[in-house]
């Protein structure tokens, strides 16, 4: 085994990798398809730095969120600042908005393809460095923006033919709604404290809401008969959620209301959602997001409503690969030039460079070798054509062209080579 190995939970992405998540070409293809849809919906791309001041995350995600408690890659730089590799992209985007105010110029719908870093336990669909594609819609407070965002997420998965997915939907109301509910939930769980999981016992003091989506069996048992959030919503919040559901119905988008769905970060309010797929096992969520109307102000900006979601690219690729929906991409060479005489090597070289300048993908063998060996190389390059120059071709200023797909052969004058190749590949 080589001395240096990539870190656990990180992956090298290289051309033609067997696994879809490691194959940069399949990634790029999916990315290209997504960008097209995102642009059609009016989103423009943003990219923020890989590192931020740690406060950008601790002050927004919530001190008690999984990310802040145990998942951040934090270090002190040489200037003594605490910096963090970004574990999520929303807070950096909001930081950027507040810093540059690009929203004033009308930029309010953004998308990103970006890497995130979280120190969690690596497993299928869970990495320490992973990629997210996501959107943010700023300055639209109405329920239509929530549905616009959700409909886009659904459309993306449909366009990629991801197969059966489930849209889980809930509302977590306003901060006041939640405060009332948290009080009731805490009162309900306090007497059962001993039966809760260790993590949830801690959450009882710090982040009661998160107990709701705990996967621990004992927590789910303790939650039986617990108060439900929807009973604690103010009328306005209820009306808002009803409107979200109505608009989804109108678009014939199916959803399941999941009263226990809460998101892991502190900044969410009202609509929250997740889209799950069947093929991912424990890491079933591909897309997750919701509304976050207070974050912009909390980060020093104006009062500004916002809605967004993020999709894990690796989970997306795993789902697609599971269903054979992203087969390896062929990387074809148009013509592979084969010199069989010393005098032909420079001619092949010159032709190769010339063909490439004309947009033709040409490769060659740089020294004279047996024809069998050179044809084998042509095969490795997945060439459509082989252009062979031997003694006879040299004398007649010709190239013997072999079509490697159907094995037909033809002699072409060297000065006609480009035209001929073009006619064969278009």
Interface residues with ligand ATP (CB under 6 A) are: 88, 118, 120, 125-127, 130, 132, 264, 283, 285-288, 310-312, 314-315
Distance CA 412, CA 420 (A): 8
Q: Which of 307, 282, 281, 279 is nearest to 295 (CA)?
A: 307
Which CB atom, from 223 or from 288, has the smaller least distance to ligand ATP?
288
DSSP secondary-structure letter at 330? P
Distance CA 309, CA 89 (A): 10
Least distance from C-beta 13 to ligand ATP, angstroms? 14
Which CB atom, from 263 or from 402, has the smaller least distance to ligand ATP?
263
Which CB atom, from 153 or from 189, has the smaller least distance to ligand ATP?
153
Which CB atom, from 37 or from 375, has the smaller least distance to ligand ATP?
37
Which CB atom, from 127 or from 388, has the smaller least distance to ligand ATP?
127
Distance CA 301, CA 293 (A): 12
Query: For residue 112, how far is the Cα from the chain centroid?
Result: 9
Q: At 57, give phi and psi (nearest 5°).
A: -95, -45
Which CB atom, from 43 or from 292, has the smaller least distance to ligand ATP?
292
Least distance from C-beta 264 to ligand ATP, angstroms? 5
Q: Residue 115: how many CA atoms within 13 Å on its side-chain side?
A: 12
Least distance from C-beta 314 to ligand ATP, angstroms? 5
Least distance from C-beta 344 to ligand ATP, angstroms? 52
Q: H-helix or E-strand containing 188? A: helix 175-189
Q: H-helix or E-strand containing 425? A: helix 417-425
DSSP secondary-structure letter at 366? S
Least distance from C-beta 222 to ligand ATP, angstroms? 20
Q: Which of 117, 70, 105, 109 is nearest to 93 (CA)?
A: 109
Which CB atom, from 99 or from 123, has the smaller least distance to ligand ATP?
123
Which CB atom, from 21 or from 389, has the smaller least distance to ligand ATP?
21
Q: Report the residue number whose CB is nearest to ligand ATP.
A: 312
Which CB atom, from 280 or from 347, has the smaller least distance to ligand ATP?
280
**CB-based contacts of 365-368 (< 8 A; 24+ apart in sequence):** 365/336, 365/337, 365/338, 365/339, 367/339, 368/339, 368/340, 368/341, 368/342, 368/344
3-state SS string for 283-304: CCEEEEEEECCCHHHHCCCCCC
Least distance from C-beta 70 to ligand ATP, angstroms? 12
Burial 256-278 (b: 16+ CB within 10 A, else e): eebebbbbbbbbbbbbbbbbbbe
Question: What is the token pair recorded at 386?
Answer: 């082989």
Least distance from C-beta 125 to ligand ATP, angstroms? 6
DSSP secondary-structure letter at 213? G
Least distance from C-beta 113 to ligand ATP, angstroms? 12
Least distance from C-beta 284 to ligand ATP, angstroms? 8
Residue 185: CB atoms within 10 Å = 22
């Amino acid at each position: 085994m080589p001395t240096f190995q990539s870190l656990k939970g990180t992956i090298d992405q290289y051309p033609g990798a067997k696994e879809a998540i490691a194959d940069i070409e399949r990634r790029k293809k999916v990315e290209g398809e997504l960008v097209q849809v995102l642009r059609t919906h009016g989103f423009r791309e943003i990219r923020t730095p890989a590192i931020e001041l740690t406060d950008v995350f601790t002050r927004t995600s919530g001190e008690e969120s999984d990310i802040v408690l145990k998942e951040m890659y934090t270090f002190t730089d040489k200037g003594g600042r605490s910096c963090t590799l970004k574990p999520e992209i929303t807070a950096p985007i909001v930081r950027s908005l507040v810093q540059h105010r690009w929203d004033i110029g009308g930029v309010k719908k953004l998308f990103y393809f970006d890497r995130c870093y979280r120190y969690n336990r690596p497993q299928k669909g869970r990495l320490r460095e992973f990629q997210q594609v996501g959107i943010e819609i700023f300055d639209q407070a109405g329920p239509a923006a929530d549905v616009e965002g959700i409909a886009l997420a659904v459309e993306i998965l449909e366009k990629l033919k991801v197969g059966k997915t489930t849209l889980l939907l809930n509302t977590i109301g306003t901060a006041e709604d939640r405060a009332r509910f948290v009080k009731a939930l805490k009162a309900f769980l306090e007497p059962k404290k001993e039966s809760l999981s260790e993590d949830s016992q801690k959450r009882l003091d710090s982040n009661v809401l998160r107990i709701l989506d705990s996967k621990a069996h004992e927590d789910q048992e303790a939650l039986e008969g617990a108060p439900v959030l929807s009973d604690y919503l103010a009328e306005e919040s209820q009306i808002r959620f009803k409107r979200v559901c109505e608009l989804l119905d109108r678009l014939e988008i199916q959803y399941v209301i999941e009263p226990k769905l809460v998101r892991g970060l502190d900044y969410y309010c009202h609509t929250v959602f997740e889209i799950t797929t069947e093929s991912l096992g424990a890491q079933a969520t591909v897309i997750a997001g919701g509304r976050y109307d207070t974050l912009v102000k909390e980060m020093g900006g104006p009062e500004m409503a916002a809605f967004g979601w993020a999709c894990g690219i690796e989970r997306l690729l795993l789902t697609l690969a599971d269903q054979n929906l992203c087969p390896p991409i062929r990387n074809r060479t148009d013509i592979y030039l084969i010199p069989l005489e010393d005098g032909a090597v420079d001619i092949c070289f010159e032709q190769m460079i010339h063909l490439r300048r004309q947009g033709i993908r040409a490769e060659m063998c740089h020294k004279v070798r047996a024809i069998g060996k050179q044809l084998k190389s042509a095969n490795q390059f997945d060439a459509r054509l082989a252009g062979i120059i031997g003694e006879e071709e040299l004398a007649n200023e010709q190239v013997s062209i072999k079509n490697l797909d159907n094995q037909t052969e033809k002699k072409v004058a060297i000065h006609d080579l480009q035209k001929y190749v073009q006619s064969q590949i278009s």
